[in-house]
Chain A
């Protein structure tokens, strides 16, 4: 099953549930009418929250850059001795 079909199925299921709620009117229908709006807003909030949290906890590794510099110096030394052209600076 294509993935878009899965997502569509999910959406249809949610819509069916919503229509069911509307017709049975277990909760006041003025509220039920707003439910899709709540859903969209909360989905948006979820997205923004995930991006925000991800951004705040973005894993960084400054020490890796230093280690890499050392590796580069070591590699250049070795390669230069063996006649590989590794630039001048």
Chain B
């Protein structure tokens, strides 16, 4: 089967979890439509009852782009990111699923390179990495860079995961693979992203990487917080003994 045919049959469900992202969600939807032209896709927005009116904006976007391309699958209250993916996944009709943040730190212009990488290599997972040539981060202070590097070296030395960027969450999955991996993950926050990729790697799924750049959020505020480092270390130990 030639590449053209493959591409015509593939459908990509882009799951975007949101919590108070009314401005970002409109921008990201525009950018997704701008950069994904020749592919069949749907955007599944999982909003956890954002008080800022994110859902009103999504409804306006549905008027512009059509309700079959933008699906709003809301939940009544903030139930966390991990379950938001599972919820979105239930409504996905594509054979591939993309997971990305709504805060514009994941730019939709990289979607074609994820798709191309998957088609070229037949991988089950394509994960975006900030730590290779062509990738990068903008807007982090020294402290953030230091913790990021430290966390990465620690995880690489202890877990041997086979991917360079463990905590990034811009990824493309074969739908069946995501369903399989996500059902065995229990962590929250950053550790969740790490658990997903480590478990996938242990299960022997073919994982490929593409470089992405990461621009820290401009609008809205960060929802992960508190004792992140402690949580991270706990997560690391958890993964050491369970995977």
Contacts and interface: CB of A to CB of B under 8 A. Distances in A.
A35 B213 CA distance: 43
Tell me the interface secondary structure of chain B in the complex: helix
A51 interface: yes
A70 to B, nearest CB: 11
Contact of B23 (A2, A58, A59, A86): A86
A17 B241 CA distance: 25
B138 A84 contact: no
Interface string B198-234: 0000100000000001110010000000000000000
B149 A51 contact: yes
A11 to B, nearest CB: 12
A65 interface: yes
In which size bucket is the chain B interface? 35 or more
A84 B57 contact: yes
A4 interface: yes
Contacts of A71: 27, 31, 107
Interface of B: 22-23, 26-27, 30-31, 34, 56-57, 60-61, 63-64, 104, 107, 130-133, 135-139, 145-146, 149-150, 152-154, 157-160, 202, 213-215, 218, 239-243
Interface of A: 2-4, 7, 47, 50-51, 54-55, 58-62, 64-65, 68, 71-72, 75-76, 78-79, 82-87
